[in-house]
Amino acid sequence: MIDNCSAILDEFRTIRKTPETYLKNIDKPIIGYFETYVPEEIIAAANMHPLRISPDNAPITIGNSKIESFACPVSINFLDQLLSGKLSFLQGVIFSRYCDSMRGVADIWQENRGKSFYHFIPYPTIATSESINFLSDELEKLAEHISDYFNTKISEEAITEAIRISNKKRLAVLKFYDLVKKGELLISSSDFFAIVSLATIMDSIEYTEKLERFIDQYEPVSNQNFGSNIKVAVSGIMLESMQFFETMDKVGLRMTVDDLMFGSRAFKGLISKEKAGLYQAIAKRYLNKVPCSVKGNLDLRIDELVNDCRESGTKGVIFYIVTFCDSEEAEYPILKKRLLEKKIPVIAIEGGYRISSTGQLLTRLEAFAEQIGERL
C-alpha cells in the first residue's frame, strides 16, 4: 500500500475505534436508527446526519430493568444506550418494524423518550406492488413528521440529491467488496469490517470520497502477512464486535465475503428512478433488497451468499447467531443444509453483542480453520 492509502486506512481504523470523537465534528443534527430498513436518504434530505447505532461494548446497566435478560442481547443493549442517556446527543431516533425484540425496544422508548423525536415505520415483510405502495405512503409520512417536528422542508430536489449520494456510496462499497472478493484488494478481517461498518456511521460524501481514494491508490504489498490466510464468509444479522474480527485475524481466517445486515446486504441494490415518484423508488429498493432472516426470502439470501463464496473462492462460512435470536436459530439449519449441498462448510457461533467467552471463540474459530484449512 502506498502512504496515502495507509493514511486513509489508519483514519478509518481510528474513527471505528472512537466514533464518538468523529461524530462530535458533525455539524448537523443527528438522527439515529438501528436497522437497515430505515432509509437514510430521507434523513439526509432533511439536512440531518443519519447515524446507524451500533451495539457498544459496555455492560448493560438499566436495560434489563425493562426487558428480561433472556431476550436478544443486542436489543437490550440498544435500549440500555437509549435509557442511560448515552444517545442523548441524537435529535431523535427512527425505528422500523424489524423483529419482536426491537418492536419492544421501540415501544419502551416511545414511553420513556420525553420530547425527543421518535418515529416508527410499520415496515411490510414482503415485496408486492401493494406493500411497495404502502411503504411509499409510510415514507412520505416519515418525511412529513421530520418536516413538522424540526420545522424544516424536505424538497424533491433534496431527496433526489440524497439518493444520488447514497447510491454513489453503495457503488463505492460494492466496488470495494468486489475487489476483496476477486483477491485484488488484500485486507484483514478487522480492517474489512472497520471500513464497511463506517459507511453507515460517517458522513456519506466524506466516506465515499475516502473509500474511492483508498481503492484508487491501493497497491498490494507482496509481503503482506495474513497468517494461514483461509478465505471465509461471515453471515448473520448483527455482528459488530471488533474483537471477533481480530480473533479471525489471529487465527488466519480472512473474511472475503460478508452477509451481514450492515455488511453487503446494506449496499446491494441501488435506488432507480421511478415514474411513480421518489418515495416509490425508495420503497422499492428497500423492500427488494437481500433480506434479513426476520424478513423471509431466504432463497435470495442463500443464492447471493453461495454466488459470493464461489466468486471469491471462499472455503467456509461462519454463521454468527445472536443469542436468543429465534429467527437466526430457525434459519441456521436451512442455511447449513443448503450450503453443505453446495459443498461449503459452515460453522455456527453463538454470542451476544460483545464477546464474553474469548477462549471458546478462539477454540471454535481455530477448530474451523483446522477443519477447512490445510493446517493439519
Partner 1 sequence: MISAGIDVGSKNIKVVILDGDKIIGKAIQTGSDDQEKSIEETLNSAVKDAKIERSAIEKIATTGIGRKVFKEADYVITDVTAGGRGIFECDNAVRTGIDVGAEESKAIKVNQVGKVTDSAVNEKCAAGSGSFVESMARALGIDMKAFAELALSSDAKIPMNAQCAVFAESEVVSLIAQNTPQKDISKAVHDSIASRVSSMVRRVKLEPRIAIFGGLAYNPGFVSAFKKNLEIEDIFIPEEPLFVSALGAALLAQEKKEG
* Chain positions contacting partner 1, by CB under 8 A: 70, 323, 333, 345, 347-351, 357, 359-360, 363-364, 366-368, 370-371, 376
Residue closer to partner 1 (CB basis): 108 or 298: 298
Grid cell for residue 149:
417536528
Q: Quick one: three-class SS letters along the chain?
A: CCHHHHHHHHHHHHHHHCHHHHHHCCCCCEEEECCCCCCHHHHHHCCCEEEECCCCCCCCCCHHHCCCCCCCHHHHHHHHHHHCCCCCCCCEEEEECCCHHHHHHHHHHHHHCCCCEEEEECCCCCCCHHHHHHHHHHHHHHHHHHHHHHCCCCCHHHHHHHHHHHHHHHHHHHHHHHHHHHCCCCCCHHHHHHHHHHHHCCCHHHHHHHHHHHHHHCCCCCCCCCCCCEEEEEEECCCCCHHHHHHHHHHCEEEEEEECCCCHHHCCCCCCCCCCCHHHHHHHHHHHCCCCHHHCCHHHHHHHHHHHHHHHCCCEEEEEEECCCHHHHHHHHHHHHHHHHCCCCEEEEEECCCCCCHHHHHHHHHHHHHHHCCCC
| Cβ at position 366, least distance to partner 1 in Å | 5
| Cβ at position 324, least distance to partner 1 in Å | 9
| Cβ at position 254, least distance to partner 1 in Å | 19
Residue closer to partner 1 (CB basis): 43 or 321: 321
Residue closer to partner 1 (CB basis): 14 or 69: 69
Residue closer to partner 1 (CB basis): 58 or 367: 367
| Cβ at position 350, least distance to partner 1 in Å | 4
User: Which residues are paired to 117 by β-bridges?
Assistant: 92
| Cβ at position 371, least distance to partner 1 in Å | 5
Residue closer to partner 1 (CB basis): 138 or 331: 331
| Cβ at position 139, least distance to partner 1 in Å | 39
| Cβ at position 345, least distance to partner 1 in Å | 7
Residue closer to partner 1 (CB basis): 220 or 333: 333
- CA pair distance 214, 216, nearest whole angstrom: 6
- CA pair distance 160, 134, nearest whole angstrom: 20
Residue closer to partner 1 (CB basis): 209 or 249: 249
Residue closer to partner 1 (CB basis): 173 or 325: 325
| Cβ at position 298, least distance to partner 1 in Å | 18
